[in-house]
A and B are shown apart, each in its own frame.
Chain A
Amino acid sequence: MFRYILRRLLQMVLTFFGATFIVYALMFANQDDPVQALAGDRPITDSQRQILTERYHLDEPFLQQYRYYMEGLLTGDFGTSLTGRRISDMMADAWPVTIKLALLAIVIAATVAITAGVVSGIRRAGTFDNVTLVLTLVILCLPIVVLAPLARLVFGVQLGWFPPTAGRDASWWALLLPAIVLGSLVVATQLRVTRSAVAENLRADYVRTARAKGLSGRRVIGVHVLRNSLIPVVTLVGVDIGNLMSGAIVTEGVFNIPGVGFNLFRGITTEDGPLVVGFVSILVIVFLVVNLVVDLLYAALDPRIRYA
């Protein structure tokens, strides 16, 4: 087990360097004139241009730039954005709200998906099962660029049930609607996976044994079927956490939440290399750590899996 974790951590280091390198290269290759992009439509003087170019090493070759960047990164310095703000400060603002949003989304999605999935798995082809099937198909078909503004318009503006924007230092309540929208991104697949896992496990021999033991139906489902059915769902939820972190771009844009997605989107449009690479680096780490945790959880849920 210990050796397995160690090996995975070493792999993560390699993946991390590879991913940051690729992102950095993409930003570099895409660069047109970042100094002008920064200034927008206003004209920029030669001396200003020179100062900025030197500060961000814009005239040096790519590998050299990457080296400067990694040196800073490894000493805990994310550098400064082209806007002049320290990136670590921006992260301190952005990450907590995005983590809050993603966690809320995943809790909502998993709760709905597992509850509904278990019920429709037990009553296959019943009314509830068919209704959820249609609903999940509708949700799957609606892209989030449609769903997010629609939800904001209907529930935030017209009905006024939720605050239409969240903003900085958003409360849990203000994040609820964006979280539901974000969660709908993953709820459908989670529900279908839960449903099929429950349906499959219900037919398993050990369920017959559990019933032969005179256990109540509730205990057979809640203790014996559920534990086995959750194994694939947990994997999916783990992967979804990573997806939601990065998938928050649209939701954060629509609901005006200054989180990771919001910053990334701005960084990409303004060709702000250091900003984008910094945020993506952390996203990569989040992805890797979540994946490791999921794999370890997998072994905890299913004793037949052993890592060596």
Chain B
Amino acid sequence: MTEIRAETDVLPGVDRAAPLLEVTDLHVEFRTRYGVAHAVNGVNFRVSPGETLAILGESGCGKSVTAQAVMGILDSPPGHVTGGEVRYRGLDLLPLPEEQRRRVRANRIAMIFQDALSALNPVYTVGFQLGELFRVHRGMSRRDARKRAVELLDQVQIPLAKARIGDYPHQFSGGMRQRVMIAMALALDPEVLIADEPTTALDVTVQAQIMGLLAEQQRQRNMGLILITHDMGVVADVADRIAVMYAGKVVEEAPVHDIYARPAHPYTRALLESIPRLDHKGGQLNVIRGLPPALDAIPAGCPFHPRCDYAQDACRHDPPPPYAVAPGRTARCHFWREVVGDE
């Protein structure tokens, strides 16, 4: 491993003893001709080796943007990181020049995307797209890179890897394509893997296989895994901790069991209540009334207050800080005590 890591160990400022990945007060906005959309408004989280953090939230809550800001692949313009820190092993990545930032990507922090069909280049073989990583980052020859690519496909359990290395993405099934994506993300042995809705485009049986594969690879490699999803069912099985996002903020962060047993934020609570349950068959589904706010007009105070059953005057004016609910557990709600205590 030391020899493979050689290229990126020259990164100055990396402290092996520092936390693996720590995001502090991250702000991202999109400046469009129609106005400024505040997509991420002070996100904090941290991931340790071997840990799975699930980032949970509705569409448009800023979870994918957060991931892209951490990777440094925001579309810019219009996207701009306007504040905060993304520390990898103590080194803040945001001010790094692109050339150094580029070496962190795929080498240290890798990412897999939702729809593998559009996320893979349609005109190159999977062998080329996998091998490219070894050729660019490791300076391998075409032949060696290809050999490594076959090994990787084998590792992600693609049958007949050697025969399929010359196939194009459209010749794979959806599940197999997502395996190719995973192989690509794992290629350079990263320490952090960000999976942005990795199973959303797949059917349920395949979803389970892909999640199983991710969990297995994570265990073997002791990676930190950030799982971005809107599916609370997926999260329950694999995550260690959950960060619930709303309107560009982490509104609640807690160990997975605590959050399911006793949510401390009204939004989390409403999300959990909206999961259809078999024993409620025939009854009406619980929904959260209203819509998430437009990102260019986030309400003052607590952004959730217009939809919240617990809202009081304070919520309309004072944005709630992350209250410490328990060690390792925070909630941005002035009335978290009532929420937790309320059965």
Residues of A within 8 A of B (CB): 203-206, 208-217, 219, 223-224, 227-228, 231, 301-304
Stretch from B110-118, B280-288, B305-313 that touches the partner: B110-118
A214 and B121 in contact, given A208-B113, A209-B113 (Cβ under 8 angstroms): no
Please give me the residue from chain B that is nearest to A231 by CB atom: B123
A206 and B71 in contact, given A214-B107, A215-B132 (Cβ under 8 angstroms): no
Q: B115–A205 contact, CB under 8 A? A: yes
Q: A212–B73 contact, CB under 8 A? A: yes
Name which of B104, B124, B125, B181 has the most chain A CB atoms within 10 A of its CB: B124
C-alpha gap A228/B68 in the complex (Å): 24
C-alpha gap A61/B73 in the complex (Å): 74
Q: A301–B123 contact, CB under 8 A? A: yes
A206 and B136 in contact, given A214-B102, A304-B170 (Cβ under 8 angstroms): no
Residues of B within 8 A of A (CB): 68, 71, 73, 75, 98, 102-107, 110-111, 113, 115, 118-125, 132-133, 136-137, 168, 170, 181, 184
**B118, B124, B136, B170: the one within 8 Å of A214 (CB):** B136
A206 and B105 in contact, given A212-B111, A214-B137 (Cβ under 8 angstroms): no
Q: B124–A227 contact, CB under 8 A? A: yes
C-alpha gap A203/B118 in the complex (Å): 11
Shortest C-beta distance, B97 to chain A (Å), equals 13
**A217, A219, A228: the one within 8 Å of B136 (CB):** A219
Q: A213–B113 contact, CB under 8 A? A: no
Shortest C-beta distance, A138 to chain B (Å), equals 28
Q: B120–A213 contact, CB under 8 A? A: no
Q: B106–A212 contact, CB under 8 A? A: yes
For residue B136, which residues in chain A have a CB less than 8 angstroms away from its CB? Answer: 213-216, 219
For residue A203, which residues in chain B have a CB less than 8 angstroms away from its CB? Answer: 75
Q: B123–A208 contact, CB under 8 A? A: no
For residue B68, which residues in chain A have a CB less than 8 angstroms away from its CB? Answer: 208
Q: B132–A206 contact, CB under 8 A? A: no
C-alpha gap A206/B113 in the complex (Å): 10
For residue A228, which residues in chain B have a CB less than 8 angstroms away from its CB? Answer: 121-123
Please give me the residue from chain B that is nearest to A301 by CB atom: B123
Chain A to chain B contacts (Cβ below 8 Å), 14 pairs: A205-B113, A208-B119, A209-B181, A211-B73, A212-B105, A213-B106, A213-B132, A213-B184, A214-B107, A216-B102, A216-B136, A217-B98, A301-B123, A303-B123
**B73, B98, B107, B125: the one within 8 Å of A208 (CB):** B73
For residue B118, which residues in chain A have a CB less than 8 angstroms away from its CB? Answer: 204-206
For residue B168, which residues in chain A have a CB less than 8 angstroms away from its CB? Answer: 303-304
For residue B111, which residues in chain A have a CB less than 8 angstroms away from its CB? Answer: 212
Q: A206–B119 contact, CB under 8 A? A: yes
Shortest C-beta distance, B27 to chain A (Å), equals 21
C-alpha gap A220/B159 in the complex (Å): 30
For residue B181, which residues in chain A have a CB less than 8 angstroms away from its CB? Answer: 209
Top-6 shortest CB links A-B? A214-B105, A205-B118, A214-B106, A206-B121, A303-B168, A211-B73
For residue B107, which residues in chain A have a CB less than 8 angstroms away from its CB? Answer: 214
For residue A213, which residues in chain B have a CB less than 8 angstroms away from its CB? Answer: 105-106, 132-133, 136, 184
Please give me the residue from chain B that is nearest to A212 by CB atom: B111
For residue B75, which residues in chain A have a CB less than 8 angstroms away from its CB? Answer: 203
Please give me the residue from chain A that is nearest to B67 by CB atom: A212
For residue A204, which residues in chain B have a CB less than 8 angstroms away from its CB? Answer: 118
Shortest C-beta distance, A269 to chain B (Å), equals 49
Name which of A209, A213, A228 has the most chain B CB atoms within 10 A of its CB: A213
C-alpha gap A208/B98 in the complex (Å): 15
Shortest C-beta distance, B71 to chain A (Å), equals 6
Further 9 A-B residue pairs, CB within 8 A, beyond A215-B136, A304-B122? A213-B136, A214-B102, A214-B136, A214-B137, A223-B132, A231-B123, A302-B123, A303-B125, A303-B168
Shortest C-beta distance, B233 to chain A (Å), equals 25
Q: B122–A211 contact, CB under 8 A? A: no
C-alpha gap A215/B129 in the complex (Å): 11
Please give me the residue from chain B that is nearest to A214 by CB atom: B105
Q: B133–A302 contact, CB under 8 A? A: no
C-alpha gap A228/B103 in the complex (Å): 25
Please give me the residue from chain B that is nearest to A227 by CB atom: B123
C-alpha gap A219/B110 in the complex (Å): 18
Shortest C-beta distance, A202 to chain B (Å), equals 9
Shortest C-beta distance, B234 to chain A (Å), equals 21
A302 and B122 in contact, given A208-B113, A212-B111, A215-B132 (Cβ under 8 angstroms): yes
C-alpha gap A304/B125 in the complex (Å): 11
C-alpha gap A223/B170 in the complex (Å): 19
